[in-house]
Structure 1
Amino acid sequence: MVDKFLNCRYAKPNAKYALICFPWAGGGSNFYAQWGRQCPDSVEVCGITLPGRESRFRDPCTTDADQILQDTCSAIYKKYCNTDIIFWGHSMGALYSFETALLLKKLHHKEPVRMFCSGISAPHAPERKHVGQTVNDMSEEEFVEYLKKLGGTPEQVLSDPEMMTLFLPPLKADYVMMEGFKSPIGVDPPLSCPLHLFDGQDDAKHNLKAWEDVTSGKTTVQLLPGGHFYPKEPSNQSFLISYITERLN
């Protein structure tokens, strides 16, 4: 299962840190796996590969949030039980990384030494309260309209029937899975690690301040040029990789 879930393109056997990167909705792991080339030998990078995409294309997409979280924690702990871990997640990946961090702490008493979350309101923020029809109950046509209203999905994907045939199943599965992310935030923050928050300057405004409730550690906010998919810009990628690795020294 480790090999299925964790895409590590540049193995670094003596690395002190493992940077685990969680995909955005419908996304894969290859985008992040190549970050390993730019990271120092002290940082090994792994992208999370969910079923139904890339090397797991033949695996059926799943909407079972509990099972995905269990499998993710198992894969991470099996490979990195003796390594300091760092989590990065953009959009859905930020929520996914947070839920994974909570479960990893619960099951194995292991917490990321730092978390980097991007492009989405905090999981408990009022902006994330879902009203009306759930994604699971939507037809394909209704789901496409929902994506258009929501924003964040490239227009070239939404307007191309062939691309939608390829991307719609994992994309919808991920949105349904997100509806299953329901860990409550109590009075006391569930995490203690430093939390670094990012957003695109031209993206829809997200409630980043609410993320402060999830950790007793220090939080910082950084805005970068671009819209929702600002991490795809080469200059932003280079900045993010440098920013993350510099804070591990």
Structure 2
Amino acid sequence: MSRSLLRPLPRPGATRTLLCLSFCGGGTASFRPWAEALPPDVELVLYCYPGREGRYTVPFAADWNALIADALEAVRTVAAERPYLLLGHSMGAWVAFDLTCRLEAGAGAPPRALIASGADSPVRWAEKRRETPTPRDTDDELLTWMSTVGQLSDVVLAEPELRSMAVEVFRADLLVSDGYRYREGVTVRTPLQVLYGADDDLDAPAARWRPLATGEFRADELPGGHFYTPPVWARLPECIAALHPAPAGGHRSSA
């Protein structure tokens, strides 16, 4: 098993996999509790970016294409086992979208569903490079942003060494994501669901993601900000339409 993949609750008899990609500066810890919120036939698998957690000694990805190449190898490992769904949060949503585009173009087996959570549409890549946070921000500015959106725990904020490590990882991911370029007209056939917080600072996510899907599409507004409310985040898989026959979580949907 690749060290880039973590299975918080192994389910060898599962018939489906939910593969998750983290936000900028994140690891797998925030996603691990989701294993308990999944149907019993679904296994949670988490992809760990280079340079953190179990891959601490692995150098950060040099650029966007290097990160995608690393993630693609992990996705192929998962796809070889059983059908899978691909979920990315924040930066992870753009990684998941780019991966799905490449998989549909012949790089491997595409996911059965793509879930983009807490992210502006990739069509806004140029604007996002000029918006906070950026890799050019100071350490204090990056810490303030991460604290404001709820990305850092009180334990990390209270420990200077942990704060320094958090900023290092965050800045490395910002540098990588700064190299993303959306290619005009690129779309996905894979069913696409967009999740976004009612109080998040996103630019019309439902409307801007919609043109990128040539297949099934839905968008669900959830309570809270960038990481929703704690109860919603803790059980976010319950909002994934492809995992449940009923409408996702009973939240308002728009197309």
> What TM-score does the superposition give when structure 1 sets the normalisation length?
0.82
Could you tell me whether the CA contact under 8 Å between 1:88 and 1:94 is conserved in 2?
yes
- Return 33-42 or 5-14, whichever deviates more: 33-42
**1:142-162 CA distance string (max 9 Å, x none):** 354367579636586679744
Match of 1:237 in 2: 234
Match of 1:179 in 2: 178
Could you tell me whether the CA contact under 8 Å between 1:99 and 1:181 is conserved in 2?
no
User: Residue 50 of structure 1: CA displacement?
Assistant: 1.1
Could you tell me whether the CA contact under 8 Å between 1:119 and 1:206 is conserved in 2?
no
Aligned partner (choices 218, 224, 228) of residue 226 of structure 1: 224
Could you tell me whether the CA contact under 8 Å between 1:111 and 1:191 is conserved in 2?
no
* Secondary structure of 2:123 counterpart: coil
* Secondary structure of 1:212 counterpart: helix
User: Residue 37 of structure 1: CA displacement?
Assistant: 2.8
Could you tell me whether the CA contact under 8 Å between 2:14 and 2:42 is conserved in 1?
yes
Aligned partner (choices 212, 215, 222) of residue 214 of structure 1: 212
Equivalent residue letter for 1:222:
D
Once residues 81 and 3 of structure 2 are traced to their aligned partners in structure 1, the CA distance between those partners, rounded to angstroms, is 20
Aligned partner (choices 193, 197, 219) of residue 196 of structure 1: 193
Aligned length: 241
Once residues 154 and 11 of structure 1 are traced to their aligned partners in structure 2, the CA distance between those partners, rounded to angstroms, is 26
* Secondary structure of 1:100 counterpart: helix
Once residues 232 and 93 of structure 2 are traced to their aligned partners in structure 1, the CA distance between those partners, rounded to angstroms, is 21
* Secondary structure of 1:89 counterpart: strand
Q: Rate the CA distance shift 1:19–1:241 in 2: closer, same or farther, 3 A.
A: same
Once residues 135 and 25 of structure 1 are traced to their aligned partners in structure 2, the CA distance between those partners, rounded to angstroms, is 11
Root mean square deviation of aligned Cα: 3.0
Once residues 39 and 68 of structure 1 are traced to their aligned partners in structure 2, the CA distance between those partners, rounded to angstroms, is 27
- Return 2-11 or 151-160, whichever deviates more: 151-160
**1:181-215 CA distance string (max 9 Å, x none):** 214131xx531122111111222133311111222
Once residues 4 and 128 of structure 1 are traced to their aligned partners in structure 2, the CA distance between those partners, rounded to angstroms, is 34
Matches within 5 A, 1:35-54: 35-54=34-53
Match of 2:250 in 1: none
* Secondary structure of 1:4 counterpart: coil
Q: Rate the CA distance shift 1:55–1:116 in 2: closer, same or farther, 3 A.
A: same
Match of 2:253 in 1: none
- Return 212-221 or 19-28, whichever deviates more: 212-221
**1:197-245 CA distance string (max 9 Å, x none):** 11112221333111112221222221222121226x134432x222322
Once residues 9 and 159 of structure 1 are traced to their aligned partners in structure 2, the CA distance between those partners, rounded to angstroms, is 27
Q: Rate the CA distance shift 1:109–1:226 in 2: closer, same or farther, 3 A.
A: same
**Structure 1 regions of 5+ residues with no counterpart?**
none
Q: Rate the CA distance shift 1:91–1:142 in 2: closer, same or farther, 3 A.
A: same
Once residues 234 and 121 of structure 1 are traced to their aligned partners in structure 2, the CA distance between those partners, rounded to angstroms, is 23
Once residues 132 and 241 of structure 1 are traced to their aligned partners in structure 2, the CA distance between those partners, rounded to angstroms, is 29
Once residues 82 and 234 of structure 1 are traced to their aligned partners in structure 2, the CA distance between those partners, rounded to angstroms, is 31
Matches within 5 A, 1:27-42: 27-42=26-41
Could you tell me whether the CA contact under 8 Å between 2:223 and 2:232 is conserved in 1?
no
> What TM-score does the superposition give when structure 2 sets the normalisation length?
0.81
User: Residue 129 of structure 1: CA displacement?
Assistant: 4.6
**1:104-134 CA distance string (max 9 Å, x none):** 2234352221111121210113773534999
Once residues 54 and 32 of structure 1 are traced to their aligned partners in structure 2, the CA distance between those partners, rounded to angstroms, is 13
Q: Rate the CA distance shift 1:50–1:144 in 2: closer, same or farther, 3 A.
A: same
